Amino acid sequence: MLAKDLISDVIPVINTLETGIKALNWMEIFKVSHLPVTDNNDFLGLISDTDIYDLNKAEQAIGAHPLSLIRPYVYADQHIYEVIDLISRLQLTVVPVLNKDKQYIGSITLHDLVNNFSTITSASEPGGILILEMNIHDYSLSEISQITEGNDVKILSLYISNHQNSTKIDITLKLNTSNLNGLIQSFERYNYTIKASFPEDEETELLYQERFDSFMNYLDI
């Protein structure tokens, strides 16, 4: 999934002739803390609610004040993982998207990013979760796939988490079945360490869905 596929069709842009109050009103309406500032299609930077409060005179045009706007952006053909990295590192609620000529074409919101990431990681699909712990030098995707498919189980998604100050990693597998007993036994025969397993039943599925819904509601606050 690319950045151009994630662009929101509702986030407005502001120009330097518009007031800080107008920008704050838009931020309140669209539940974001940043808005892109443009001059026609030229991207000038992101302005935050904190930037506007620091102006002291929010009723004046934004361009009437000296601005030091940050200029984070992604190109339209960048992958969703690069968007996630940028939004996480800079604690953004909006990521501007530019074309190859560095012209502004739209923005991605944190809310839409979470929704789409849930889709590509199969978080909403039924099935269990298995977490393997191993040394990074022992990691073999082909072997993990072979063991999994040998039990007639499919991997819907996989991601790796590093241990801090260690060569250990966690491999989280989202699987297409909630019956994990046979697969766990197979991994143990190959001397894999099972760190955790989450066989999904109706009650667990409801719990995960409630947690996801609560998180999405939080983003709407």
Q: What is the pLDDT of residues 179-200, one digit of tens each?
A: 999 999 999 999 999 999 987 5
Cα 194 from Cα 188, distance rounded (Å): 7
Q: What CATH number belongs to 3-118?
A: 3.10.580.10
- Decide if domain 129-214 falls under CATH 3.40.50.2300: no
Query: Which of 50-54, 75-79, 142-146 is predicted with the least confidence, judged by mean pLDDT?
Result: 50-54
CA distances from 45 to 15, 16, 28, 62, 131 (A): 10, 11, 19, 12, 41
Domain boundaries, the chain: 3-118, 129-214
- Burial bucket for residue 56 (CB in 10 Å: 0-12, 13-18, 19+): exposed
Q: What is the pLDDT of residues 118-176, one digit of tens each?
A: 777 777 778 899 999 999 999 999 999 999 999 999 999 998 999 988 999 999 999 99
- pLDDT of 205 over the 70 cut: no
- pLDDT of 177 over the 70 cut: yes
Per-residue model confidence (pLDDT) at position 210: 59
pLDDT band per the 50, 70, 90 thresholds, residue 82: very high
Calculate the CA dihedral of residues 17, 20, 23, 24 and round it to 10 degrees. -170
Per-residue model confidence (pLDDT) at position 217: 60
Calculate the CA dihedral of residues 189, 195, 200, 203 and round it to 10 degrees. 140
Half-sphere exposure of 52 (CA within 13 A, CB side): 26
